Chains A and B, each alone.
Chain A
Amino acid sequence: MAAKEGKRKTGIELLEDAFALCKTESRRAVAPFVTAGDPDSESTSAILKSIYEAGATCCELGVPYSDPIADGPVIQSSYTRALNAGMTLTKMFDVVATFSKSHSMPLLAMASYSLIFRNGIETFVKRGEASGLAGFVVPDLPLEESDELDTQCRRAGLALVRLVTPTTPPERAREIARRSTGFLYCVSVAGVTGERTALPENLVERIQWLREESDVPILVGFGISTADQAREVAAVADGVIVGSAVVRCVEKAQEGTSMPDAVGNFVRELVEACRLN
């Protein structure tokens, strides 16, 4: 699926291809979240490769930020580890560039708007485009403040994935769904990122309602940590996003050299759980 006919595919097209492939192969999308630079750039590159080989549809690359208010303790600690180890935006874009040169799996940057604004919105999107990024998830950027980033992403053909949460009123959810590109991120619970033992009861109805309102695939995230939960969600949504559980996998494996394998095995379980029979 790499570049043909001389013209590189846009980020949105890469995502469309990836979701189309899922459909052909009769399975739901699996989007693991990995913190860029946790514990270092080399490990992140190796983890991305193993995630790709395990059959992930796309990957969210968490861009470490000093004050992540939407994140629970697991992702927060991974950001602190990465920053303490000297992770920078330049190194993050380098990881993306190296990976995207030889792999078709789309990468999305999960980045605080604080970082994007500081860099300059246009500059940040251009850096993303040049590195081969497929798009952005910006957890602290609500609809009202997003026009400029939206314009830049559309110009570059990059996805701006928007989030709908349980506290979002229906009218607003409709508008968010309409403006989301790449896919729509359905947050399962009100709260920060992190593993939870049970999924909320009304999740199925919420997804079914959103399905009517959205033209893009709907992926569900926050709180999904096991293959069983992924299977449950895959029955109704177009895919799952698994963050803290993957990051914890990285954290636990940090001692040994088997980290990419550990993450790869976990993602493989998720991919298997998301096959439709």
Chain B
Amino acid sequence: MPSVHEETVDQKLSAVPDDLGRFGRFGGRYVPETLSAALDQLEKAYEEAIADPEFNSELEGLFAAFVGRPTPLLFARRLTEKAGGAQIYFKREDLSHTGAHKINNTLGQALLAIRMGKQRIIAETGAGQHGVATATACARFGLECVVYMGSEDVRRQSPNVRTMKLMGAEVRPVESGSRTLRDAINEAMRDWMASVETTHYIIGSVVGPHPFPRIVRDFQSIIGRETIDCCKSLFGRLPDTVVACVGGGSNAAGMFYPFVDHPDVRLVGVEAGGRSGGDGEHAAPLTYGTPGILHGSLSYVLQDADGQTADVHSVSAGLDYPGVGPEHSFWRDSGRVDYTSVTDAAALDAFDMVAQQEGVLPALETSHALAWAVEAASKMRPEEILVVCMSGRGDKDAAEIARLRGHE
């Protein structure tokens, strides 16, 4: 007869977070008291929404007609031949409206905001994909939209800045700190402190205080569910390996979550290895960090011995972040997901390779997962199936890549 204790041990990995927003020891809610009531309100609104068939059918309708879901699974024929091992497939989130998976979350949260009677939306953005997806959702629903973006990112992802403005959003460049994603989140939080009664903060990744990591994961889980359905109908089985890039980790969480209770599927998250493993040279907290608190939750963080957040670097604005979602930390420590990192140079090579071999321009973020995938596929057997989450398209990166290579 199993004891209560054994039942806890047997508990499914997917049965998180708990009521306090814990994924194992990670997660939680470390925010100023001013935000506590709003987070409680959000949690309640979310519970009510997902129990409401109308909410779900409205979101499904938008996913189909507005986003273009389900996104296809593409066999990467020439890349597979080049790697000479496992069959490589792309889960084509890059074909979603606005060019990345981010829209899944922004539509869901915009609907939540409307349910809570909030007409003003704020968001942070790194690569600009979440900013564009938020601006798009706000345009669709007639909500006021302000996007905070580090001024360094405004520079290196300018096509997305233009798109946000075209959609009617206000883009506020952030000049503090490293002028990247982390600083944009700080500014968005500060705005929210003063505007919380009328404003909803659409956080763009599986980070931040409870209930954000759960909500974002749930809205993104459509990626993993569709992948499972598609693999079952195409191959009659699940894939052997699934890989995704990890910055804050929303595409990876959405892809992995439906798989975590299928132990035969290997899950791999790829962080930004930057220039090297030295301090300040990368953005890989799961690889090099320690447990700490950043932006409202407990997770692996890159920080110094006092707890000051470390400087990070990545060629990719969307991965250039010193923290990561708490569920990834939970998956890391439980051993369910393997995390590794890929350098700037390897990601840029993969970008070229995929563009030229497959006619698909991947986002620089996604290119990190692709670099790992090609390398790993070469060591796998031809009957094995490897799925890469093609989280976003790379048009936004073309100019920055040209600049980096000195022919602007």
CB of A65, distance to nearest CB on chain B (Å): 7
Given known A69-B193, A114-B292, A190-B193, contact A140–B303 (CB-CB < 8 A): no
A191 CB contact (under 8 Å) in B36, B194, B292: B194
B30 contacts across to A, CB distance below 8 A = 113-114, 140-142, 145
One digit per residue, 1 when the CB lies within 8 angstroms of any chain B CB and 0 when it does not, for chain A 49-89 equals 00000000000000001111111100010001001000011
Q: Which residue of B lies closest to A77 (CB)?
A: B176
Q: Which residue of B lies closest to A68 (CB)?
A: B186
Taken together as a complex, chains A and B put the C-alpha atoms of A172 and B37 apart, in Å, by: 9
Q: Is A118 among interface residues, defined by CB-CB distance under 8 A? A: yes
A113 touches B38 (CB 8 A): no
Q: Which residue of B lies closest to A71 (CB)?
A: B190
A167 touches B306 (CB 8 A): no
One digit per residue, 1 when the CB lies within 8 angstroms of any chain A CB and 0 when it does not, for chain B 1-40 equals 0000000000000000000100000001111111111100
A119 contacts across to B, CB distance below 8 A = 306-307
B20 contacts across to A, CB distance below 8 A = 144-145
B298 contacts across to A, CB distance below 8 A = 117
CB of B179, distance to nearest CB on chain A (Å): 13
Taken together as a complex, chains A and B put the C-alpha atoms of A172 and B38 apart, in Å, by: 13
B305 contacts across to A, CB distance below 8 A = 118
Taken together as a complex, chains A and B put the C-alpha atoms of A204 and B377 apart, in Å, by: 68
B196 touches A76 (CB 8 A): no
A-B contact count (CB 8 A): 117
B308 contacts across to A, CB distance below 8 A = 65-66, 83, 115
Taken together as a complex, chains A and B put the C-alpha atoms of A35 and B29 apart, in Å, by: 26
B190 CB contact (under 8 Å) in A140, A166, A192: A192
Taken together as a complex, chains A and B put the C-alpha atoms of A224 and B190 apart, in Å, by: 18
Q: Is A168 among interface residues, defined by CB-CB distance under 8 A? A: yes
Taken together as a complex, chains A and B put the C-alpha atoms of A187 and B36 apart, in Å, by: 14
A67 CB contact (under 8 Å) in B28, B194, B294, B306: B294
Q: Is A176 among interface residues, defined by CB-CB distance under 8 A? A: yes
Given known A114-B292, A169-B37, contact A88–B306 (CB-CB < 8 A): yes
A117 CB contact (under 8 Å) in B31, B35, B293: B293
A167 touches B294 (CB 8 A): no
Q: Is A165 among interface residues, defined by CB-CB distance under 8 A? A: yes
Q: Can you name 19 A-B pairs with beta carbons within 8 Å?
A: A65-B307, A67-B182, A69-B189, A70-B34, A72-B190, A83-B308, A88-B306, A114-B309, A115-B307, A117-B298, A119-B307, A139-B32, A140-B296, A145-B29, A164-B33, A165-B32, A165-B33, A168-B33, A192-B190
Known interface pairs A66-B309, A69-B295, A145-B30; 7 further A-B residue pairs with C-beta atoms within 8 A, sorted by A's residue number: A67-B186, A80-B177, A114-B30, A114-B309, A118-B305, A162-B33, A167-B34
> What 8 A-B pairs are tightest by C-beta distance, nearest first?
A118-B307, A191-B194, A115-B307, A69-B189, A70-B32, A114-B293, A165-B34, A66-B309
